[in-house]
Amino acid sequence: MSANPLPFEQFALLDDAECDARIGAAKEKLGGRCVVLGHHYQRDEVFRHADFTGDSLKLSRLAAQSQAEYIVFCGVHFMAEVADILSRPNQIAILPDLAAGCSMADMANLINVERCWKELAQILDPETTITPLTYINSAADLKAFCGRHEGIVCTSSNAGKILEWSFARKEKVLFFPDQHLGRNTGYRMGIPLEEMVLWDFTQPLGGLTPQQIERAKIILWKGFCSVHQMFQPEHIDRFKEQYPETLVVSHPEACFEVCEKSDYIGSTESILKIVREGAPNTRWLVATELNLVNRLHEEVKHQGKNVHFMSPTLCMCSTMFRTDPQHLAWVLENLTAGHVVNRIKVPEEVAREAKLALDNMLIVV
């Protein structure tokens, strides 16, 4: 065993083919002690090394069930935090590149959310009337905020059920950080748009009047995903002028107008399922990240299916893209040498409270 961790500089200039071989060798050496989880947005060179792939819900369940000593999460920071919170104390969650964050998750922070809660208390009693609901794309301390206030976490695949859970308890929901997931899901449950108000965290009282807050069923945080905001309803119209038979499938982080024009809405895992189960010789326009769309097209093209990316400009999730084979090789070889690099460890008290909100979700779905 080497005395010190291997520095990243020894890996930074390796070509992908060499990384491939070294990742394979390190995984073989580690065997069942290590599990590599890969989100659907990971690039091919990393994705192919994942033992399990999935959307946020599936991967958090896998993290909770895993027996492995090391959980190497090829995804973004909040996902590795969830893996740490849900795994046992002797397990270690690792994020190959610590700079792999989520720009949407960063749009809400504890200071802004605590301030929002206090300001809402000028109008009503939030503790008895509002369930705080955070999308899993959020920092652990926001999940802990939800845990402290009888709240819950949702993902893009269970948001409807989680909203139902919340409304069975309290009359209103404060939904953060993604306004689109909240609005698209609420609307499909029959909540009119006027009863979903937008909380602009840069404005006093979120830029709302007391009457708007009193009437609202859902208070939506003004956050969004920079990748999914690229998809526009005109893209669907233009594409359908050429191919009118096209089926449209969108991630619920896309805006309301795009989801309204879509035949299907679903998480990354459901998008894959919908297209895989679609009839042969069909054409699909998909509003989600490029790596998933390209891979899906390659997978189903032999069935005569054509899968197209919705936006005319290419938009990848740049933070998901940060995890490259060089970082994966680096963390895995360090593990074979007995060194843990890039551990994600949520402080104990934050993890305890965040787990309350995550457990609420995992009991519901």
Query: For ligand SF4, which residue of 37, 62, 102, 354 counts as binding (CB under 6 A)?
Result: 102
Given 3-state DSSP classes, what are the helix, strand and coil percentages for the chain, each rounded to the nearest 5? 50, 15, 35
| Host H or E run for residue 184 | helix 179-188
8 Å CB contact between 20 and 325? yes
Return the number of the residue (56 or 342) whose C-beta is nearest ligand 13P.
56
8 Å CB contact between 56 and 79? yes
Rg (CA), the chain: 21
Task: State both tokens at 22.
Answer: 């070294």
Runs of H (alpha helix) within the chain: 9-12, 16-30, 44-47, 56-65, 77-86, 110-120, 126-129, 140-148, 159-167, 179-188, 210-215, 233-242, 256-260, 268-277, 290-300, 325-336, 348-364
Structure-derived torsion over alpha carbons of residues 95, 97, 102, 106, reported in degrees to the nearest 10: 90
Return the number of the residue (59 or 317) whose C-beta is nearest ligand SF4.
317
Site membership for ligand 13P, residue 137 (CB under 6 A): yes
Site membership for ligand 13P, residue 267 (CB under 6 A): yes
List the x/- string, 254-283, binding to ligand SF4 by CB under 6 A: ------------------------------
Site membership for ligand 13P, residue 156 (CB under 6 A): yes
Shortest approach of ligand 13P to residue 346 CB, angstroms?
Answer: 19
Query: For ligand 13P, which residue of 84, 119, 253, 353 counts as binding (CB under 6 A)?
Result: 253
Binding at 319: pick from ligand 13P, ligand SF4, none (beta carbon under 5-8 Å per type): ligand SF4
Pairing of strands 306-309, 218-221: unpaired
Binding at 55: pick from ligand SF4, ligand 13P, none (beta carbon under 5-8 Å per type): ligand 13P
Task: State both tokens at 78.
Answer: 């909040």
CA 112 to CA 86: how far, in whole Å? 26
Query: For ligand 13P, which residue of 53, 56, 60, 336 counts as binding (CB under 6 A)?
Result: 56
8 Å CB contact between 42 and 268? no
Return the number of the residue (131 or 319) whose C-beta is nearest ligand SF4.
319
Return the number of the residue (26 or 83) whose C-beta is nearest ligand 13P.
83
Judged on CB neighbours under 10 Å (0-12, 13-18, 19+), 242 is exposed
Measured CA angle at 36 (ends 30, 42), to 5 deg: 145
Return the number of the residue (55 or 84) whose C-beta is nearest ligand SF4.
55
Query: For ligand SF4, which residue of 59, 62, 227, 259 counts as binding (CB under 6 A)?
Result: 227
Shortest approach of ligand 13P to residue 221 CB, angstroms?
Answer: 16
In the window 344-363, what residues touch ligand 13P (CB under 6 A)? none
Shortest approach of ligand SF4 to residue 288 CB, angstroms?
Answer: 8
Return the number of the residue (212 or 229) whose C-beta is nearest ligand 13P.
229
List the x/- string, 282-321, binding to ligand SF4 by CB under 6 A: -------x---------------------------x-xx-
Measured CA angle at 315 (ends 311, 319), to 5 deg: 155
Binding site for ligand SF4 (CB under 6 A): 76, 102-104, 137, 225-227, 253, 289, 317, 319-320
Binding site for ligand 13P (CB under 6 A): 40, 55-56, 137, 155-156, 225, 251, 253, 267-268
